[in-house]
A = this chain, B = another copy of it.
Amino acid sequence: MFKKLDEIKVLRDPIHGYIHVEYDVIWKCINSREFQRLRRIKQLGASYMVYHTAEHSRFAHSLGVYEIVRRMIVENNDIGSTISEKDAIAVMLAGLLHDIGHGPFSHAFESICQTHHEEFTERIILEDTEVHRIIEKTQAGLSKSVASIINHTHKNGLLTQMISGQLDADRMDYLLRDAYFTGTKYGEFDLERVLRTIRVRDGIMVVKETGIHTIEDYIMARYHMYWQVYYHPTARSYEIILSKLFERLRDCEKENSKVLKEVTMFNAFIRNKDISVNDHYLMDETTCFYGFSLLLESKDEILKDLSYRLLTRNLFKYVDITNDKMKETKKNQLIKKGYDIRYYFHVDKVEQRPYQPYKGDDLSAIWIVMNNGSIKELSEASDIVHSLVHGENKNEEKMFYPVG
């Protein structure tokens, strides 16, 4: 029914061997301007300041998510036989496009501009964009179906689980990909075996009991990647400076400074009103870096300093906070040295559980189908996950500030 390419296209990929594209609509979406824009946004934001080879983009990751979704359908009989061709197309598109709304440096940017990538993902799929027109031309109404899988409103929960549960194509790809591109081994797990042990029971994705060790290994891979890569304090230091720079831009704008004329590319987002999908299209990391280069000559000393820090990796130092007094002492020191502590002091707390058990939402937990046919939530089926969930949480509080 859905148009296929004359010959399957394959894209070489170090994680999956090849990405396979069979359907015309997938190929066209890959070549749309909105999807190609993802080449200009790094998957791991500031992590390449720590792991210098973590320069891979959301473009590559999105292809990887698509490929895992495709393999779930083609290689796993339970899934393949459960869903229609239309749903298969929709969930492959959802995997491909789930990150299309991301802005530069993800969270640092969002927090200041008070936008959410989820919102833009939905808008790009549903508003008048290249990618929207491609999908609708393939089948009227299909874009709504894709968007509803991404925003968890599709009536078939299995499709949502495939791209955003606790064992979804998104996480599976990014763990493997981030491990490969950082050069760490912590994120590795046995994707082949996960794909082989997935089953569908009552319309819900579950894992066979024989695959439980592989799932434990996957949970541990996540745990380690969080601490070794995603929460690395040096990357957080970079992101904090990014946030502070955008915060300063916004404050300048409120104070009616002329500074924003120096870097007009930030206008729409700093003012944050009526941001169009085209404004969003133009805001990527190359745009930001050109803006930072211009700010090297800014008349505002704070913007000048913060942009210099970003461009030369002259980052804030960090220390663990072991008592509350430390914060006040440090702030006072910084004030004495003339620093504006709105932009030159930051406290950051992170906490991470490697796995969140069942909380009223069937889709987000990982379910195990035991050899006897009964179904258990992962932390009840696995001693080791049980230990993790009921043990103390690992968390850290650090403060960040300039040296000297």
A residues in contact (CB < 8 Å) with B:
10-15, 17-18, 31-33, 36-37, 39-40, 48, 51-53, 55-57, 59-60, 63, 180-186, 188-190, 192, 196, 213, 216-217, 220, 223-224, 227-228, 265, 282, 284-290, 293, 308, 311-314, 383-384, 386-388, 390-394
Q: Given contacts A293-B287, A387-B388, are A53 and B312 in contact (CB under 8 A)?
A: no
Residues in B with CB closer than 8 Å to A391 are: 383-384, 386-387, 390-391
A393 near B383 (CB under 8 angstroms)? yes
A182 near B383 (CB under 8 angstroms)? no
B313 near A36 (CB under 8 angstroms)? yes
A312 near B386 (CB under 8 angstroms)? no
A394 near B383 (CB under 8 angstroms)? yes
A14 near B387 (CB under 8 angstroms)? no
B57 near A55 (CB under 8 angstroms)? yes
- Other than A10-B196, A39-B55, A213-B228, give 5 A-B pairs with Cβ distance below 8 A: A14-B183, A53-B60, A184-B190, A290-B290, A387-B388
Q: Given contacts A12-B184, A227-B213, A387-B387, are A282 and B293 in contact (CB under 8 A)?
A: yes
Residues in B with CB closer than 8 Å to A185 are: 188-190, 217
Residues in B with CB closer than 8 Å to A53 are: 12-14, 56, 60, 181
For this chain, the copies found in one complex come to 4
Q: Given contacts A36-B312, A188-B188, A312-B33, are A12 and B56 in contact (CB under 8 A)?
A: no
Cα-based distance from A311 to B31 in the complex (angstroms): 10
Contact of A286 among B56, B290, B383 (CB under 8 A): B290
Cα-based distance from A186 to B183 in the complex (angstroms): 17
Residues in B with CB closer than 8 Å to A37 are: 311
Residues in B with CB closer than 8 Å to A57 are: 55
A390 near B387 (CB under 8 angstroms)? yes
A186 near B217 (CB under 8 angstroms)? yes
Most-contacted residue by chain B among A10, A223, A227, A293 (CB, 10 A): A293
Contact of A217 among B12, B224, B287 (CB under 8 A): B224
Report the minimum CB–CB distance from A175 to chain B (whole Å). 12
A384 near B223 (CB under 8 angstroms)? yes
Residues in B with CB closer than 8 Å to A224 are: 213, 216-217
Residues in B with CB closer than 8 Å to A190 are: 184-186
The chain B residue with its CB closest to the CB of A389 is B387
The chain B residue with its CB closest to the CB of A371 is B320
Contact of A12 among B13, B15, B31, B182 (CB under 8 A): B182
Cα-based distance from A48 to B42 in the complex (angstroms): 14
Most-contacted residue by chain B among A57, A190, A387 (CB, 10 A): A387
The chain B residue with its CB closest to the CB of A216 is B224
Cα-based distance from A293 to B390 in the complex (angstroms): 51
Contact of A18 among B31, B192, B390 (CB under 8 A): B192
Report the minimum CB–CB distance from A189 to chain B (whole Å). 7
B52 near A48 (CB under 8 angstroms)? no
Q: Given contacts A12-B51, A190-B184, A387-B390, are A33 and B311 in contact (CB under 8 A)?
A: yes
Residues in B with CB closer than 8 Å to A384 are: 223, 388, 391, 394
Residues in B with CB closer than 8 Å to A15 are: 183
Report the minimum CB–CB distance from A275 to chain B (whole Å). 16
A180 near B312 (CB under 8 angstroms)? no
